[in-house]
Amino acid sequence: MTANEFCDRVRSRGLKAIAGAERTVWVTHERFSMLRLPSCFLNVPRKNEIRDVFKQSHALMLSYVVEPTPERPPNALLYLCTDPNYSLEKLGKNARYDVRRGLREFEIRFLEQKEVHRLGKQAYYDTLIRTGLSPKQRGNFDHAFGRPLRDKCFLGALKAGQLAAFLQIMEVNDWVSLGGYSANQFLPFCPNNALVFYAVEHYLGRQKRRVVDYGLSSIQAMSNAEGLDHFKRKMGFATTPVHRVFDVNPLVRPFVSRVTSSIVSGMLKIFPRHSMLKKADGALRLLLQP
């Protein structure tokens, strides 16, 4: 789909989506911020674009990534794959073994959203808990997948009528973005390896997309970032050092302080799996770095 079609489909879910410069899109991220997509666009937005997005969205914060500079040193890693000849033979020995096992154990195919809604609850909740988030605070499964998601498609790994894992995929212009969920009981059989391999080969090799984006390293103080980093590298994704920017709405800028950061950190001790608090804590730490 085009960027404009993507915006329309995001808005159909009651979320905000604003077209940015150079075919980028700003979309609602959590409840208080807007995220620029795709992450692989590393240009610095013009001041009037930032101003207009704040004005139209009423967001408290905007998040985007740019190329590092001496003034903006690297503070995150971006995981991208751009190899049009991506193949099993290009992966390491252990990755090849895991992919082959996953392909043997599971049926890999694109899913209708109703199938994800019917079968994906365990994978969704298990993933949130593994990544240190509370399902109660993140949003329940029916809220996340019970409404039409016309801006996304789904690729699943199925076994004996059960959905072991699935990818939530955005396809816009020449880029594709992946996000995954998997059930704990099936992890030894490598469903994630099979899914990611199938998706990357499909989009780069068959559909000739330019880039598959597997997200950014986490800003959260406590996460399974090391395990995710190892998995993504293993599956052929290159790491690009970037500077992750958090622009705060001028109206709330006075509240960005070490006092506020201490308050959020204290609340995290009480609610350690609260997703918004974890991300707010990470954003404040980055904003307050010297």
Give the pLDDT confidence score for residue 223 in this predicted structure.
45
Predicted confidence (pLDDT) at residue 94 exceeds the cutoff of 80: yes
First to last CA, the chain: 41
Token reading at 105 = 């154990």
Average pLDDT over residues 236-250: 87
CA 156 to each of CA 113, 129, 162, 165, 203: distance values in angstroms, whole numbers, following the listed order: 11, 20, 10, 6, 15
- Give Dmax (Cα) for the chain: 56
Say which range, 19-28, 232-241, 260-269, has the weakest mean pLDDT: 260-269
Looking at the chain, the domain(s) classified CATH 3.40.630.30 span 79-242
The SS3 of residue 235 is coil
Q: What is the CATH superfamily name and number for domain 79-242?
A: Gcn5-related N-acetyltransferase (GNAT) (3.40.630.30)
Q: For residues 180-202, give the mean pLDDT.
A: 96
The pLDDT tens digits of the residues spanning 95-119 come to 999 999 999 999 999 999 999 999 9
Residue 69 tokens, joined: 């500079």
Q: What is the mean pLDDT of residues 203-212?
A: 94
pLDDT at 65: 92
**pTM score of the predicted model:** 0.81
Phi first, then psi, for residue 264 (nearest 5°) are: -65, -40
Read off the pLDDT of residues 148-185 as tens digits, 9 standing for 90 and up: 888 899 999 999 999 999 999 999 888 999 999 999 99
Give CA separation, 181 vs 49, 105, 165, in Å.
34, 17, 6
Residue 80 contacts residue 211 (beta carbons within 8 Å): yes
